[in-house]
Amino acid sequence: MFEKFNQLSFVIGVFFITVAIILIAGYFLSSALHFDINLYTGLGMMVFGLVMVNIKE
């Protein structure tokens, strides 16, 4: 698992998944973040992050 952090695409993927979790979780858990644009951006970043994580360099 930690070996994968040597791959840049994996690191970028994990970063965007983390940001996506903040936005999506925030949308459902906090009224301050309950905006559609947060949800859609979070979902977009989640998809991008998952693709990057699964790319084999």
- Determine, following the binding rule CB under 8 A, whether residue 4 of this chain makes contact with other proteins: no
- Determine, following the binding rule CB under 8 A, whether residue 33 of this chain makes contact with other proteins: yes
- Determine, following the binding rule CB under 8 A, whether residue 23 of this chain makes contact with other proteins: yes
| Residue 35 backbone dihedrals phi, psi, to 5 degrees | -130, 140
| Euclidean distance between CA atoms 12 and 4, whole angstroms | 11
Under 8 Å between Cβ of 27 and 34: yes
The residues binding other proteins (CB under 8 A) are 5-6, 8, 11-12, 14-16, 18-19, 22-23, 26-27, 30, 32-33, 35, 37-38, 40-41, 44-45, 48, 57
